[in-house]
Structure 1
């Protein structure tokens, strides 16, 4: 079934489909996106009073999850809340988390395993400020070249599969699916590397397959004819929360109005992200991905609410595979707009 899906997606390359998303590459310059007014400027719509800190730094990764964040910047939603936001593009979730822990970043975007793991070790107290993206089928996929010996999930033991890093969604999601299907995931050799390196690694047979997220799923299919082996957002990981924005409790406690202003602006942008005509220009302008490829990218769900029971699924998944020792109560980390006044 997945192969037929892949065939249909490639066949649609010439159609004017309004499904565009892209990876916000690490080479993006955050400064060029800042167009808002300073706190206290005329036209501010901050209804909660003056924010405690008007200029904040937000760590973001080169992934599709943060597209609404850039849309909020472009539309001046943060500025209208009295915030001047500087995006700081980092290479990994760990780098974003480390930046927040060290005080270089005020709010950190990350794939959930990174902050949840840090929280579980009790080295830092994180609060989840906003949910970012929920995966749907086609967003995170194990792919391989047509001539690879990796053709189905049961072929995975003994094979080399590229991932971004251990203890992330790129290995946890596939392991969960393999375990459900009775496949010995412990025999899979996961090879960490960056997304851009995965396609060449498959071509030179350094790896048998790769776990990629959009837009790399579509890029791999279009560029080298990669085919899906199995979907990482299916079965036990269907509609799994993938990422969010977090901050250390020291910052959230000292700046509740700043956090509330950030939440309002981001929620507005993420609610508007369902309208592709509004958010597509952001992908084209900042992602540097050709329009033909971008139109085929599977668009996941941008969250507009912050629900502990959903994000708890990620913590439970991490506990299942011994990434987290003991149970982590995610509800204690949630900083919802309703309680953040």
Structure 2
């Protein structure tokens, strides 16, 4: 059974407001089993028995999670002795709240949210697996045909839609603009969900929008939107966008279930290694990211990582520090459990 949480216990009143708003925004781009009881079976996972055979994973309907669903459908988690229940969350904040309060074991996240939370000691987050790194065409500033926003130097003074401040939708474009000597601090960033951006551009409420796939392709198809510049270029080329995270600490999943995490990593890594098979990914886009078949055929497919490397994700933490979102240094390596790799 595919479960959907949009309210209830996941809406905890923890001190994560800024972090939660960041996650809600940046989601780039997202066998269905029931039950959440801990398993004490003899299922083996590499170095020992799986501590919890049934786990809940919070996901969003975005292209980033296509390999995760492939792993579910192909039975890769079952091969590792895991029963994985995808829980479709109503928002990024709900997913993060879900792992903080124990409703979820693992959650898909856009990196700025857990990195910010880690830096402010909201909780001790562990990055279980890397999800997606942006290729050219995945994170794009677009504008309607009649907009005066035609090139990066036009950006100062313009109204550009983003999902939220201190997210990949404003940090990555600001980095590109800064590198090109453009006054990024003079851009009027307007916060709204991705689905609202096309209408806002059409009605002249904004001059452009920072979109991620599949919304880049949708904006081009529905509005005739044209790219102004790529947000994943220059200093942000191939920047990691998202991953799967868990919380560690006394009684927390990332501490109590290392073998379960290792099994999850192996299964997901196997699926992500197949992400170059475009027809397989398109099927997942249509079924789970809810895009039509024609759009799925046009979507830019970015890089789905088969390894978990702190130095790559450190780029996101450094970007956040550069623009004052994170104060001081954050060592991403401390967030990698056992410095392991997925798919191995």
Q: Deviations over 1:54-105 (max 9, x none)?
A: 1111111222110000111111111121111111222443332222112121
CA contact (8 A) 2:309 2:341 kept: no
Q: Distance in 2 between matches of 1:49 and 1:179?
A: 49
Q: Give 1:29's aligned residue.
A: none
Find the partner of 1:302 among 285, 304, 307.
304
User: 1:129: which partner in 2?
Assistant: 128
CA distance in 1: counterparts of 2:335 and 2:173, whole angstroms: 26
Tell me the distance in 1 between the aligned counterparts of 2:48 and 2:162. Answer: 45
Distance 1:105 1:34, change over 3 A: same
CA distance in 1, matches of 2:59, 2:89: 6
TM-score of the superposition, structure 2-length normalised?
A: 0.85
Check conservation: 1:62, 1:91, Cα contact below 8 A: no
Distance across 2 between alignment mates of 1:157 and 1:121: 31
**Post-superposition, which runs of at least 4 consecutive aligned residues in structure 1 deviate over 6 A?**
38-42
3-state DSSP of counterpart to 1:165: coil
For 1:127 and 1:105, the matched residues in 2 are separated by 14
Three-state SS of the structure 2 residue aligned to 1:148 is: coil
Q: Is structure 2 residue 69 aligned with structure 1 residue 70?
A: yes
- Provide the aligned length of Structure 1 versus Structure 2: 311
Q: 288, 291, 295: which is aligned to 2:290?
A: 288
Q: CA deviation at 1:256?
A: 0.8
8 Å CA contact 2:126–2:335 kept in 1: the answer is yes
1:233 aligns to what SS in structure 2? coil
Q: Using CA pairs under 8 Å that are at least 6 residues apart, name the structure with larger relative contact order, 1 or 2.
A: 1
Distance 1:309 1:339, change over 3 A: closer
**Measured at CA, do residues 336 and 67 of structure 1 come closer, stay the same or move farther in structure 2, by a change above 3 Å?**
farther
Distance in 2 (alpha carbons) for counterparts of 1:115 and 1:316: 14
Q: Cα distance, 1:187 vs. partner?
A: 1.1
1:90 alignment partner in structure 2: 89
Residue 152 of structure 1 corresponds to which residue in structure 2? 151
Corresponding residue SS for 1:34? coil
Question: What 5-or-longer segments of structure 2 have no aligned partner?
Answer: 1-27
The within-5 A match list for 1:260-275 is 260-275=262-277
